[in-house]
Amino acid sequence: MHYYTFHPKDYMSKTGFLEPLEDLAYRRMLDYCYLNEKPLPADIDEIALLVSMRSHCDSIAVVLRYFFELTEDGYINDRVEKEIEAYQEKSEKARVSARARWDKRKPKTDPKANKDEASCERNANASETHDGRNANHKPITNNQEPVTNTNGDDEKALNIPFEVFWKTYAKSVAKDKCKAKWESFSNKVREQIMEHLPAYVASTPTKKFRKDPMTYLNGKGWLDDIIVDEPGINQQSKPSYSSMNVNAKYEDPNYDPLDGLASGTGAPHGNY
């Protein structure tokens, strides 16, 4: 057994008189019995060796006296024996049930249908339709292979991680929703977004004028044109007459109403 049920209240009520080393010895002796599904040896020195407490045989002797019984097979604990028996019975029923399901699903023309009993049991335990209720269920341990994601295009398959987009956009609003949306895109769309995004961010240095990232993604903002100020035009270099007398512009010695018209850059007379 790789695990067993432990009842702290029950355990403490029956072991409260034990010294710390005796308590440690008892826990290690229980672990040995459950893990190996067999009694402790009849020799105390051998038990001490198995639980790595060779210099504490006295503590082991106290535990054996109060919690174990010596039989022909060695020292047994009544509670442990019942737990192991129930576990083995459940495992056997699971094996039988799994084997029956597996045999039922085999094609009648399968040339391997007449395999011997041992082979059938291996097939049952290795059932390709294993649903968690099949033979001899045991919890995951460090020795088992890690579970991998089989959903296909998972996070590991993203050509551009979400964090790259998020750091580039630099406006933290609704991150979880944006992440889900980002992962729903194809690799091609993510590439198009990252080709467009740096220029868009540069065109909106003030974040309050930049779209929320979710709005950008939902609205396919990467397909929009980027609008920036035309280079070379300095709005402050031109005189402003909004707060001056209506005739002040005409009094300006440098004013020429036809200035710029020849080159197509001046304003028409209708604006004056």
Give me the pLDDT at residue 248, please: 46
Q: Which of 160-164, 177-181, 226-230 has the lowest mean pLDDT?
A: 226-230
* Beta-bridge mates of residue 70: 75
Confidence check: pLDDT of 213 > 70: yes
| Of residues 95, 97, 68, the one with CA closest to residue 81 | 68
Other C-beta atoms lying within 10 Å of the C-beta of residue 233: 8
Structural element, H or E, at residue 74: strand 74-76
Q: What is the pLDDT of residues 94-150, one digit of tens each?
A: 888 888 888 877 666 555 555 555 565 565 555 444 454 544 555 544 444 444 444
CA distance 93 to 91: 5
Give me the pLDDT at residue 121, please: 58
How big is the CA angle at 230 (ends 226 and 231), to the nearest 5 degrees?
A: 120
DSSP string, 163-202: HHHHHHH---SSHHHHHHHHHHS-HHHHHHHHHHHHHHHH
Q: Are strands 69-71 and 74-76 parallel, antiparallel or unpaired?
A: antiparallel
Confidence check: pLDDT of 240 > 80: no
CA distance 21 to 48: 12
Structure tokens at 250: 């005409």
| Of residues 172, 220, 225, the one with CA closest to residue 199 | 225
Residues in the chain: 272
Give me the pLDDT at residue 45, please: 95
Give me the pLDDT at residue 230, please: 57
Distances (CA, A) of 38 to 27, 44, 209: 15, 16, 73
CA distance 161 to 103: 46
How big is the CA angle at 228 (ends 226 and 232), to the nearest 5 degrees?
A: 145
* Local structure of 76: helix, strand or coil: strand
* Beta-bridge mates of residue 75: 40, 70
Cβ–Cβ under 8 Å, residues 110 and 100: no
Q: State pTM to two decimals.
A: 0.36
Higher pLDDT, 209 or 257: 209
Higher pLDDT, 209 or 251: 209
Give me the pLDDT at residue 126, please: 53
Cβ–Cβ under 8 Å, residues 87 and 1: yes
Burial of 99 (C-beta count, 10 Å sphere; 0-12/13-18/19+): buried
